[in-house]
Amino acid sequence: MPSLYTASISHAMTDKSDGAPNRPLRRGWTTGACATAAATAAYTALLTGEFPDPVTIRLPGGETPAFALAWEALGTGECAAGVIKDAGDDPDVTHGALIIATVGRGEAGSGVVFRAGEGVGMVTKEGLPIPPGEPAINPVPRRMMTEAVAAVAAEFGDAGDVVIEVSVPGGAEIAQKTWNPRLGIVGGLSILGTTGIVVPFSCSAWIHSIHRGIDVARANGFDHVAGSTGSTSEQAVQRIHGLSELALLDMGDFAGGMLKYLRRNPVPRVTIAGGFGKLTKLAQGFLDLHSGRSQVDFTWLADRLAELEAPADLVEEAKGANTANQVLTRAVAAGVPLADLVAARARAVAIGVLGDCGTDVEVLVFDRKGGLEGRAGFAGGDARVLILGGTADAAALARGLSGVGVITSLAGRTKAPAALPGEVRVGGFGGAEGLAAYLEERGVTAVVDATHPFAATMSRHAEAACRLRPTPRLMLARAAWTQQPGDRWIEVDDMAAAVEAIPAGARVFLTVGRQELAAFASRTDAWMLARVIDPPEQPLSFVKLVTGRGPFDLEAERALLVEHGITVVVAKNSGGEASYPKLTAARELNIPVIMVRRPALPPGEVVGTVEDALDWLKRR
């Protein structure tokens, strides 16, 4: 009979905090590993009539431990086996619990179907890895059991269509000692685990292993280390940066333990990588990210959404959310860059702990599948340029800054903005003070205001923010249009004056943007056609809409004016070539143009071309 698999802790982890002997801590097995072992034995017995004891399984990391069976039941239509959960030296509430898997035949072609037996919970709320209505058996244990069934089926020539019911006698009572009831997992425990192995919980031992990892990285000359909260984020950060395994630190929940040691033993760069919930707690100021010692403050998250000018209903929903990931999912769907802000706040906390040791910090926020949701720091070196965008010139500038850390901020006026290099954020900053705080949090080294010439409020906020947090600022403002021979312009100072200037009975072509259309509702004595990039959210009865995005063609513009019998055009003096053909067409057709003058720019340096802006940035 093969001996049972025993794992020891790497980095010589020892427990000295409670007077225990100076010995390696014994690892244990997750409920997911135990359930997989039980399911493997039960399915084998269903096919052969005999239980393998011990039963060997393969863990996600390639280990092949063997588990002794503590209980078994052989039937004709189903078989069951049980394994005692051994958590090693970890003070786990499920230590000693009996994990039972009952395996029966499933419908042809059904594959593996999971059910919750006694003591295993059911998911009832959104925001968890498993959707509501499903047994609380997490994705990795499901995959482990599915792969184990496939291996046994291949060995004995079966189709592998089975129903696996996992149960834990007494699990409902044990679950009351966990967060399951609060998370909406009712009736029992969750079947958990991402590696199959329980690493013994010991603050001093775990933190000691982090310190040793930093020592090893420094000794081997690495200038960049990454501390991750779990295996998913570790794999994701390795994909991004290609770091050696010696530079990967198993930070877990102990962000403070890692950062405080780096303050005394610095490396040039550190990446902190983790899920949204863990890093939200770091952003709140917690340095211990364990669920038993720090919690996500949903009011804090709601305040951050409000800071990003998220819709009011999203802000209110966040206050009563079930999990942090539920808030993130809604924010992503709404186009609100919440993960970026959380990353920036977490980075600020980390920098505060590190002090002036010289270590630069990057924070990466990943979803459960390892997808990057938020980022702060690094991304192109020391230079970090914030482009206040929304124009073609801003997009061209972002594309011209390849190799530089560039963030392009869009006002959110276009529902489907063009793809841009670097980071893209959508939404406001919360006024000049909010923008100044953002510049500080993201380490912005230069601001280029390339907003639309009529985005006067944003330009004023940028000027004030760059005074509050001293930052070089440039305005990229394309040249205004000027009257040409044959033009019939009526120049006005604002939109109200443009409304008044429309002759009674006119057939009007409005090219002022969808946000300005409501101002023209009072002119019921005129017929109106408006061109917009995206339709307004609420229908407008007083105007006919056409959609389009420049650049526009002169022939098409001429045809549009003739087709609709346009007698007057209303335009903002935006400048540029993309939308100029309408003015040429109006000139050729002798149609007057009501032209709204640009608002005055705030004080500061101004250039008129993308090339000049790039030259300015190169001199910084």
> Residue 292 — very low, low, confident or very high, per pLDDT cuts 50/70/90?
confident
Same domain, 238 and 330: yes
| Residue 10, pLDDT score | 28
The 8-class DSSP code of residue 14 comes to B
Identify whether residues 184 and 295 lie together within a single domain. no
Q: What are 133-191's pLDDT values in tens digits? A: 999 999 999 999 999 999 999 999 999 999 999 999 999 999 998 878 867 789 999 99
Q: How far, in Å, CA of 131 to CA of 364, rounded?
A: 26
Is the pLDDT at 27 greater than 90, yes or no? Answer: no
**Domain check: are 531 and 474 in the same one?**
no
pLDDT of 20 reads 39
Question: Mean pLDDT, to the nearest integer, of 464-491?
Answer: 93
- Is the Cα torsion angle 605, 611, 616, 620 positive or negative in sign? positive
Three-class HEC string of 89-157: CCCCCCCCCEEEEEEEECCCCCCEEEEECCCECEECCCCCCCCCCCECECHHHHHHHHHHHHHHHHHHC
Residue 50 in this model has a pLDDT that exceeds 90: yes
Helices (H) and strands (E) in the chain, counts: 19, 28
Instruction: Write out the two tokens for 236.
Output: 């994701």
Instruction: Quote the pLDDT of residue 135.
Output: 97
Distance, in Å, from the CA atom of 181 to the CA atom of 512, rounded to the nearest integer, reads: 54
Model confidence, pTM:
0.45
- Residue 444 has what pLDDT? 86
pLDDT for 198 beyond 90: no
Instruction: Let me know whether 500 and 549 are in one domain.
Output: yes
SS (H, E, C) 416-447: CCCCCCCEEEECCCCHHHHHHHHHHHHCCCEE
Q: Which domain covers residue 115, as residue numbers? A: 10-198
- Closest by Cα among 152, 191, 194 to 55: 152
**Lowest mean pLDDT segment, chosen from 20-34, 273-287, 401-415, 523-537:** 401-415
* Whether residue 221 is found in the same domain as residue 319: yes
Residues forming a β-bridge with 530: 510, 545
Domain count, the chain: 4
Q: 345, 376, 407: which is the final residue of a domain?
A: 376
3-state secondary structure 186-206: ECCECECCCCCEECCCCHHHH
Confidence band, pLDDT 50/70/90 cuts, at residue 201:
low
Are 68 and 25 a contacting pair, CB within 8 Å? no
Preceding amide of 54 cis, omega within 30 = yes
Pick the residue with more confidence: 587 or 427?
A: 587
Domain-ending residue, one of 354, 376, 398: 376
Residue 74 lies in a domain: yes
In a domain, 425, yes or no: yes
**Model confidence at 412: pLDDT above 70:** no
Q: Apex CA 275: angle with CA 90 and CA 447, to 5°?
A: 145
H-run or E-run covering 365: strand 360-366
Confidence of residue 202 (pLDDT cuts 50, 70, 90): low
Cβ within 8 Å of residue 567, ≥6 positions away: 503, 506, 507, 508, 591, 592
Are residues 100 and 172 both part of a single domain?
A: yes
For the cut 70, the answer to whether the pLDDT of residue 380 exceeds it is: no
Q: Which residue has the higher pLDDT, 182 or 365?
A: 365
Is pLDDT above 80 for 317? yes
Residue 343 predicted with pLDDT over 60: yes
Token representation of residue 393: 């010139």
Closest CA to 408 of 440, 443, 448: 448
Q: Is the pLDDT of residue 439 over 70?
A: yes
6 vs 280 pLDDT, higher one: 280
Please tell me whether residues 59 and 155 are part of one structural domain. yes
Distances (CA, A) of 382 to 437, 591, 620: 18, 52, 12
The CA-atom distances, in angstroms, between 475 and each of 578, 603, 605 are 20, 10, 6
483 inside domain = no
Does 276 map to a domain? yes
Residue 262 pLDDT > 50: yes
d(CA 71, CA 79): 11
Q: Which of 331, 355, 376 is the last residue of a domain?
A: 376
**Mean per-residue pLDDT, 263-289:** 94
> Which domain CATH number covers 296?
3.40.1050
In a domain, 484, yes or no: no
- 372 shares a domain with 309: yes
Tens digit of each residue's pLDDT (9 = 90 or more) over 235-249? 988 887 788 888 899
Q: Is 211 in the same domain as 340? A: yes
| Same domain assignment for residues 457 and 517 | no
- Residues 143, 240, single domain; the answer is no
Residues 118 and 137 in one domain: yes
Query: Tokens standing for 235?
Result: 């794999």
Answer for the pair 240, 257: CB distance below 8 angstroms, yes or no: no
In angstroms, the CA 583 to CA 410 distance is 27
Helix (H) or strand (E) holding 211: helix 203-219
Which of 133-147, 217-231, 416-430, 596-610 has the least mean pLDDT? 416-430
CATH code, domain carrying 538: 3.40.50.720
Q: Specify if 550 maps to a domain.
A: yes
Residue 532 and residue 514 in contact, taking contact as beta carbons nearer than 8 Å: yes
**pLDDT of 411:** 61
> Which CATH number characterizes residue 184's domain?
3.30.2110.10
Domain membership flag for residue 4: no
pLDDT score at 18: 39
Give which of 421, 443, 275 is closest to 362, Cα–Cα: 443
For the chain, give the mean pLDDT.
87
Q: What pLDDT, on the 0 to 100 scale, is given for residue 281?
A: 95
Q: Residue 418: inside a domain, yes or no?
A: yes
Residues above pLDDT 70, as percent of the chain: 91
pLDDT band at 14 (very low <50, low <70, confident <90, very high): very low
> What is the model's pLDDT at position 12?
28
